[in-house]
Chain A
Amino acid sequence: DQQVKQNSPSLSVQEGRISILNCDYTNSMFDYFLWYKKYPAEGPTFLISISSIKDKNEDGRFTVFLNKSAKHLSLHIVPSQPGDSAVYFCAASGIIQGAQKLVFGQGTRLTINP
């Protein structure tokens, strides 16, 4: 049972345009959501997060939106730059069955075309 899903394994966007990466979760006990970015041969690095009490968090070119009723979050990157090409992991955090859990999605490979 996959609690965090990123249904698009890959996404290709033109430089300068908006990139939108999507993530769905199933467990309403998750109360914090994070996006990680991963380059080849490197570990994931934290990008941006959002608490469940908010519906939007912005940091420069990156904005994360949370729709709790739909159990859906998205990461918007605008404008997209070639250096944004990477794999993006969505993660959800919460107390599940008495223990803190951090569950990752499968990742979406974003390619920004010049």
Chain B
Amino acid sequence: ETGVTQTPRHLVMGMTNKKSLKCEQHLGHNAMYWYKQSAKKPLELMFVYNFKEQTENNSVPSRFSPECPNSSHLFLHLHTLQPEDSALYLCASSRVRTGGTLNTGELFFGEGSRLTVL
């Protein structure tokens, strides 16, 4: 139990579906992240939210839409995905120093949402 909870753990969707991934952290952290893990590739950072403000979008296609309503919750809205978007999507959180500078970089990850796009 890392204090970061992701739902659903598994999701199968068609290319025309709209679905959302949810992440919740109970650690009192103020930064949250979405990462994508594809087979045999490094973890790819998708989005970063510091103090509920999006501070990074790593050239992610618009079919992925993040939402951070508060510092404890993070969503990833999915629509018109492609089969190559099938991957493990990991949420993480951390404590950011005041001023927005990340501390040492230690992230606490959720267990991931395994997404399959048919």
Say whether A associates with B: yes
Is A45 touching B40 in the complex (CB atoms < 8 A)? Answer: no
Which residues does chain A contribute within 8 Å of B55, judged by CB atoms? 99
Contact of B40 among A2, A9, A91 (CB under 8 A): A9
Query: Per-residue 0/1 for A1-29: is the Cβ within 8 Å of any B Cβ (1 yes, 0 no)?
Result: 01010000100000000000000000000
Q: A102-B45, A104-B43, A105-B42 are in contact. Are A43 and B4 (CB under 8 A)?
A: yes
Q: Which of B12-20, B61-69, B71-79, B105-113 contacts A (4 or more CB under 8 A)?
A: B105-113
Contact of B112 among A43, A49, A103, A106 (CB under 8 A): A43
Q: A41-B111, A99-B56 are in contact. Are A91 and B105 (CB under 8 A)?
A: yes
Q: A49-B106, A99-B56, A100-B101 are in contact. Are A43 and B43 (CB under 8 A)?
A: no
Given contacts A4-B42, A43-B110, A103-B45, 4 further A-B contacts (CB under 8 A): A32-B105, A34-B106, A44-B107, A44-B109
Residues of chain A at the chain B interface (Cβ within 8 Å): 2, 4, 9, 32, 34, 36, 41-46, 49, 51, 89, 91, 93, 95, 99-100, 102-107
Q: Which 6 A-B residue pairings sit nearest by Cβ, starting from the closest? A: A93-B105, A43-B109, A100-B102, A104-B43, A102-B105, A104-B42
